[in-house]
Structure 1
Amino acid sequence: MIQRKFQHTFTLLNVDRVQLDARWNYQHVISPYYRIYYIHDGDGSLSGAGGTVTLEPGFLYIIPSFTLCNMRCDSHLDQYFVQFFEDSTDGISLFAQQRSILKVAATEMDGLLFNRLLEINPGRGINRSDNPKVYEKDVYYREYQELNNLQNIAVSMETQGILWQLTARFLSQHATDGQEATPIPGKLAETLDYIALHLHAELTVNFLASRVNLHPDYFSRQFKAFTGTRPLNHIHEKRIERAQYLMATTRLSYAEISAQLGFGDISHFSKAFRKSTGMAPRDYRKQLYLVGFHHHPKNISE
C-alpha cells in the first residue's frame, strides 16, 4: 500500500469577510505568507509579473508567499480572505516554481469552507478593516500564534484541513506530478533542513557537500536537479525569505536581522534585499504596515 506523507503545514493568520472600496489600492505588495480570496460580489484586480487578473464573483484566487503583486478595487468588493504561513519539511514551497497569481472557478463547497473557517476561528480579521487609519491597535504575529496555540485539537485539525483543501484547488496535476514522481534523495533533504536551520552560518558548497560525503560538483548537479536552482542561489533565496518573515513577525532591527542571517553588515543586507525584492528593507516594512499586517516601521530602529 502506498503511503503519502504531507510535507506542508499551514499556520493561520487572518480570516474574514470584508466589504472593500476604492481605498483598497496597494502597490508592490510582497509578503512571506499566502493569501486566498473568494469573491462574493463586486470587482477588482490583482496584477503582477504575469499580468493582470480580474477579481470576479464566483472565483477563488491565491497569491503564494513571496509573490509580488498589486491590489485594486475601483468601487466595491465583497471578499472572503484567508492569510496563512506555509511550513515545508524539505524547505521547498508548494509554489516554488510558480510564484504567480492563480485563479480557479469556485464551487459551492469553497463557500462552505470559508464560512466554516470563520465559524471555528472567530475574531481573526484585521480589525474588521482594510484601512490602516482605522486600526485600533497594531497587529503582531505572536498574537495569532497565541490564538493558534489556544485552539483545541479538533479546531486545529479542522483549520489545517480546510487550508489544505483550499490550497489544493490551485495545484494542477501538471504542477505536482513532477515533484511526486522523483522524491528528493535523503542526503539533499537533510541538507535543505540543515540550511534552513543554519542561515546565520557561513555556508559553502564544499562544506555542504562534505557533510553528506558527496563530491562538490556532483552535489551541485544533484541539488539543481531536484530543487531547480544551485546551492548558493537557494541559500541566498532562503536568507531573503527569512528576512521578510522576520520583518513581518518580529520587531528586530535591520542590524539584528542582518546578523542573524549571516550578511555581515547592514549595507550588504540592504543591497541583497533590494536586488531580490526590488525594494529597500525600510520600504518593505512600510508596505507590511500599509496592507495591515504589521506595526508602523517608524518604531523599528535601523
Structure 2
Amino acid sequence: MIKRALQHTFSLLNVDHVRLTSRWNYRNIISPYYRIYYIDGGAGEITDTHAALKLEPGFLYIIPSFTLCNLSCSHSLSQYFVQFFEESSDGLSLFANNRTILKVEATPLDVMLFNRLLEINPGRGINRSDNPRIYEKDIFYKEYQDLNNQQSTGAYMETQGILLQLVSRFLNPNFYQHHEKNVIPVKIMETLSYILVNLHQDLSVIHLASRINQNIDYFSRQFKLYTGARPVNYINEKRIERAQHLMATSRMTYSEISVQTGFDNLSYFSKTFKKFTGMSPREYKKQIYTVGFNHIN
C-alpha cells in the first residue's frame, strides 16, 4: 500500500471580512506569507509581473508568498481575506514554480469555510493604525504564533484543514503548473534541510560538498539539476526569505537579522536583499506593515 504524507502545512496569521476604500492602493508589494481573497462586493485589481486580474464578486484569488504585486481599489471593495505562513518538510514552497496570482470561481462551500474560519478564530483581523509612528513601535505579526499556540487542539486542526481546503482550490492542473522533478537524491535532500537549519552559519560550496563527501563540481551540478539554482543563489534566496520572515515576526534590528541570516555585514545584506526583492530592507519593512490597514469595518 502506497502512503502519501502531506509535506506542506500552514500557520494562520490574519483572517477578517473588510470593506476597503480607495486608500487601499499599494505598489510593489512582496510578503513572506500567502493571501487568499474572496470578493463579495465592489471592485478592485491585483497585478503581478505576468498579468492584471480584476477583483470581482464571486471569485477567489491567491497571492503566493514572495510574489511581487500591486493592489488597488478605485472606489470600494468588500472582501474576506486570510493571510498565513507556509511550512514544508523539504523547504520547497508549494508554489515555488507558480509565483503568480491565481483566480477561481468561488463555491458556496468556500464562503462557508471563510465564515467558519472567522468563527473559530475571532479577533484575528488587522485592526491597527496606518500611522508609521504607531506600527513601527507595535509590530503586530509577533502575536500570531502565540494566538495559534493558544488554540484548542480541535480549533487548530480545523483551521489547518480549512486552509488546506482553500489552498487546494488553486491546484487545478488546468492552470497550476506543478513541475514534477525526479526524486531528489538523499544527499541533496539532506543538504537542503541542513541549509535551512543553518542559514546563520558558513554555507560555502566547499563546506557543503565536503560534508557529504562529494567533489565540488559534481555537487554543484547535482544541486542545480534538482533545485534549478546554483548553491550560492539558492542559499542567498533562502536567507532573504528568512530575513523577510524575521522582519514580519520579530523586533530584530537589521544588523541582528543580517547576522541571523548569515551575512558578513549589513552592507552586503542590504545589497542582496534589494537584489532579490527590488527594495531596501527599510522600504520592505514599511510596506509589510501598511498593507491591509486602510479599510473600514
CA distance in 2 between partners of 1:249 and 1:204 (Å): 28
Equivalent residue number for residue 144 of structure 1 = 144
Equivalent residue number for residue 224 of structure 2 = 224
Equivalent residue number for residue 76 of structure 1 = 76
Equivalent residue number for residue 116 of structure 1 = 116
Instruction: Please give the secondary structure, in 1, of the residue aligned with 2:95.
Output: coil
Q: Deviations along 1:173-213, whole A, 9 cap, x unmatched?
A: 3756543x633222222111100111111212222122223
Equivalent residue number for residue 130 of structure 2 = 132
Q: Deviations along 1:216-261, whole A, 9 cap, x unmatched?
A: 2232222222222121111010011111111111111111111112
The letter of the residue matching 1:267 is: S
TM-superposed CA distance for 1:124, in Å, is 0.5
Q: Deviations along 1:114-135, whole A, 9 cap, x unmatched?
A: 11111111110001x7x62598
Q: Which runs of 5+ in 1 are unaligned?
A: 294-302
CA distance in 2 between partners of 1:235 and 1:177 (Å): 22
Matched, 1:201 2:206: no
Amino-acid identity (%): 61
CA distance in 1 between partners of 2:7 and 2:47 (Å): 30
CA distance in 2 between partners of 1:220 and 1:5 (Å): 29
Equivalent residue number for residue 159 of structure 1 = 159
CA distance in 1 between partners of 2:264 and 2:123 (Å): 41
For the Cα contact (< 8 Å) 2:97–2:178, is it kept in 1? no
For the Cα contact (< 8 Å) 1:139–1:292, is it kept in 2? no
CA distance in 2 between partners of 1:19 and 1:183 (Å): 46
CA distance in 2 between partners of 1:284 and 1:186 (Å): 36
Change (3 A) 1:244 1:196: same
TM-superposed CA distance for 1:139, in Å, is 4.5
CA distance in 1 between partners of 2:215 and 2:276 (Å): 29
For the Cα contact (< 8 Å) 2:60–2:103, is it kept in 1? yes
Equivalent residue number for residue 273 of structure 1 = 273
The letter of the residue matching 1:264 is: D
Matched, 1:5 2:1: no
CA distance in 1 between partners of 2:178 and 2:96 (Å): 14
Higher relative contact order, chain-length normalized (CA < 8 Å, sep 6+):
2
TM-superposed CA distance for 1:276, in Å, is 1.1
The farther-off stretch of 266-275 and 217-226 is 217-226
CA distance in 1 between partners of 2:161 and 2:184 (Å): 25
For the Cα contact (< 8 Å) 1:258–1:266, is it kept in 2? yes
TM-score (norm 1): 0.90
Aligned residues: 290
The letter of the residue matching 2:283 is: D
Matched, 1:50 2:41: no
CA distance in 2 between partners of 1:81 and 1:183 (Å): 36
TM-superposed CA distance for 1:90, in Å, is 0.6
Counting only pairs closer than 5 Å after superposition, residues 6-21 of structure 1 correspond to structure 2 as 6-21=6-21
Change (3 A) 1:292 1:39: closer
Equivalent residue number for residue 262 of structure 1 = 262
CA distance in 1 between partners of 2:138 and 2:288 (Å): 11
For the Cα contact (< 8 Å) 2:98–2:177, is it kept in 1? no
CA distance in 1 between partners of 2:141 and 2:193 (Å): 24
The letter of the residue matching 1:132 is: D
CA distance in 1 between partners of 2:140 and 2:178 (Å): 37
Instruction: Please give the secondary structure, in 2, of the residue aligned with 1:2.
Output: coil
For the Cα contact (< 8 Å) 1:33–1:65, is it kept in 2? yes
Matched, 1:287 2:264: no
TM-superposed CA distance for 1:288, in Å, is 1.5
CA distance in 2 between partners of 1:172 and 1:182 (Å): 21
Change (3 A) 1:271 1:139: closer
For the Cα contact (< 8 Å) 2:30–2:68, is it kept in 1? yes
TM-score (norm 2): 0.92
Change (3 A) 1:95 1:177: closer
TM-superposed CA distance for 1:106, in Å, is 1.1
Change (3 A) 1:147 1:225: same
